[in-house]
C-alpha cells in the first residue's frame, strides 16, 4: 500500500501561521511559535493560539501586536562582526548590537547563530527566518571554522582530549577538528572546527584544559568564507551563495541512511533428514514431555540399582580386602559369616566392654547391680 504524498505547508488551504510570521521576517520559526502561543497574533481580529492554524495572507488580515504583516523581500548579509558587539536584537543595558551595523531600511534583521561580545568574524544577518533556523539548528551540523590564539602550548594529547569531548552541564562538547598553525612566544595559534554553536563553547573547552582563549575569529560558516572583508564591514550575499546555503541545509537535513552489511548465513543442509531409527544410540530425539518422564524414570532406576549393589547385608559396603588384612585405621579386620550379626557392644578386639568403659561408651545408660 503506497503512502499518500506529503503536502507542503503552503498548500491550497493556506500557510501555517508560524511559518508566515517567519517568512515575513519577524523572527525564527521557533520564536514565532512563542508569539502565537502567547496570544500576540490575530487573524481577522480574532486571537489565534493554535500552531496548526493555516491562513491565507492574500485574503486574511494577519497582525502581530496590532501591526499588519506585509510580505517583505528576503535579505541576506555577511558581516565581519567586530569585538564589543552583541548578537541580539535587544539589550537592557544599551550595549551595541551587531544588527545595527547594517541599515535595516524598515526591515527587521537578526543574526544567525551567535558570536560572543569578545569575538569577531563572519556573521550572517538576514530576515529569512526559515533559513536562519535551519542554519542554527544542531540537526543540520553546519561546520563553523575559527582561528584562535590560546595561552600556552597545548600538547597533542590535550588536543586529542578536546576532539574526544568534555562533559559540561548542558551536555558533552567537543571539537570536530584541530590544526596547529604557529607558536608565538608563550601562546599558540590554532584552527578549530565545530558543527554546532553552544554558548562560549570554544572558550569553555580550552579553559577546562588550562589554556585561556586570548583571541577568536570565525572565518567560515558552512559554504561561506570571510575572505578579506574588513572588520566592521558587511556585504549582501550573492544569489549563488544563498542557493549554496539552501542546498547545504537541504542535504544535511536528510542524511542518507547507512546500510549495515548483513552477516552471511551458513548454507542450509540439503541432504535427507536422518530418522530416529537410523540415529546412533544416545542421539534419539524424544518428545519433550515423554523424554522428561523417561529420563526421570531411568535416573531413579539407576540410582536404586546402584544403591542396592553398593550395600551388603549389615549395611557395609563391599571391599576387596581379605580377612586378616588391616584397614586404613590400622585395625585388624575380622571375618563374619554371611548374614551374621555382629554381637552388641563388641569392639574390634572381640571383648565386651564393662565397667567404666561401658558407661563411657553409653553415658546415658546406668547399669544397675543386682
- Structural domains of the chain sorted by starting position, each given as residue range(s) with its CATH number in brackets: 15-68 (3.10.290.10), 76-253 (3.30.2350.10)
Handedness of CA 239, 127, 31, 114 (dihedral sign): positive
- 245 or 29, greater pLDDT: 245
Q: Which of 146, 217, 150 is nearest to 183 (CA)?
A: 150
Mean pLDDT of the chain: 76
Catalytic residues: 116
Which tops the pLDDT comparison, 92 or 332?
Answer: 92
Instruction: For residue 1, give the 3-state DSSP assignment.
Output: coil
* pTM: predicted TM-score of the whole model, two decimal places: 0.58
Per DSSP bridges, beta strands 110-111 and 41-43 are unpaired
**Mean pLDDT (whole number) for 177-181:** 95
> Does residue 57 have a pLDDT over 90?
no
What's the CA gap between 98 and 164, in Å, rounded?
33
Local confidence band at 233 (pLDDT 50, 70, 90 cut-offs): very high
Element (H, E) at 236: strand 234-236
Top-confidence residue, 331 or 119: 119
Q: Is the pLDDT of residue 319 over 80?
A: no
pLDDT in tens, 259-284: 344 444 555 555 555 554 455 554 44
Q: Is the dihedral of CA 89, 94, 99, 105 positive or negative?
A: positive
In this prediction, residues 116-140 reach a mean pLDDT of 89
CB 235, CB 101: distance < 8 Å: no
Amino acid at each position: 500500500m503506497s503512502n499518500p504524498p506529503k503536502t507542503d505547508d503552503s498548500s491550497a488551504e493556506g500557510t501555517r501561521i508560524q511559518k508566515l510570521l517567519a517568512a515575513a521576517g519577524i523572527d525564527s520559526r521557533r520564536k514565532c511559535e512563542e508569539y502565537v502561543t502567547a496570544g500576540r497574533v490575530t487573524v481577522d481580529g480574532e486571537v489565534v493560539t493554535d500552531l496548526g492554524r493555516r491562513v491565507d495572507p492574500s485574503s486574511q488580515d494577519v497582525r502581530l501586536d496590532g501591526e499588519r504583516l506585509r510580505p517583505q523581500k528576503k535579505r541576506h548579509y555577511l558581516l565581519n562582526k567586530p569585538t564589543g558587539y552583541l548578537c541580539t536584537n535587544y539589550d537592557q543595558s544599551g550595549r551595541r548590537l551587531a544588527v545595527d551595523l547594517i541599515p535595516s531600511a524598515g526591515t527587521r534583521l537578526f543574526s544567525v547563530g551567535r558570536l560572543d561580545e569578545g569575538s569577531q568574524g563572519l556573521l550572517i544577518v538576514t530576515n529569512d527566518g526559515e533559513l536562519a533556523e535551519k542554519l542554527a539548528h544542531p540537526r543540520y551540523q553546519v561546520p563553523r571554522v575559527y582561528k584562535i590564539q590560546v595561552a600556552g602550548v597545548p600538547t597533542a594529547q590535550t588536543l586529542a582530549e578536546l576532539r574526544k569531548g568534555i562533559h559540561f552541564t548542558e551536555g558533552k562538547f567537543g571539537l570536530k577538528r584541530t590544526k596547529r598553525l604557529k607558536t608565538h612566544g608563550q601562546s599558540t595559534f590554532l584552527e578549530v572546527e565545530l558543527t554546532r554553536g553552544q554558548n562560549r563553547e570554544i572558550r569553555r573547552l580550552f579553559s577546562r584544559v588550562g589554556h585561556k582563549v586570548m583571541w577568536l575569529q570565525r572565518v567560515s560558516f558552512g559554504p561561506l568564507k570571510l575572505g578579506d572583508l574588513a572588520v566592521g564591514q558587511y556585504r549582501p550575499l550573492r544569489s549563488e551563495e544563498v542557493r549554496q546555503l539552501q542546498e547545504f541545509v537541504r542535504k544535511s537535513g536528510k542524511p542518507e541512511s547507512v546500510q549495515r552489511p548483513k552477516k552471511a548465513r551458513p548454507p542450509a543442509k540439503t541432504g535427507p533428514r536422518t530418522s530416529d531409527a537410523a540415529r546412533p544410540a544416545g542421539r534419539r530425539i524424544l518428545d519433550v514431555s515423554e523424554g522428561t518422564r523417561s529420563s526421570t524414570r531411568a535416573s531413579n532406576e539407576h540410582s536404586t540399582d546402584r544403591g542396592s549393589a553398593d550395600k551388603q547385608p549389615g549395611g557395609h559396603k563391599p571391599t576387596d580386602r581379605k580377612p586378616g588384612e588391616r584397614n586404613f585405621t590400622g585395625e585388624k579386620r575380622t571375618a563374619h559369616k554371611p548374614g551374621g550379626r555382629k554381637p552388641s557392644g563388641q569392639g574390634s578386639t572381640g571383648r565386651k566392654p564393662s565397667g567404666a568403659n561401658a558407661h563411657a561408651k553409653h553415658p546415658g545408660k546406668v547399669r544397675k547391680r543386682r
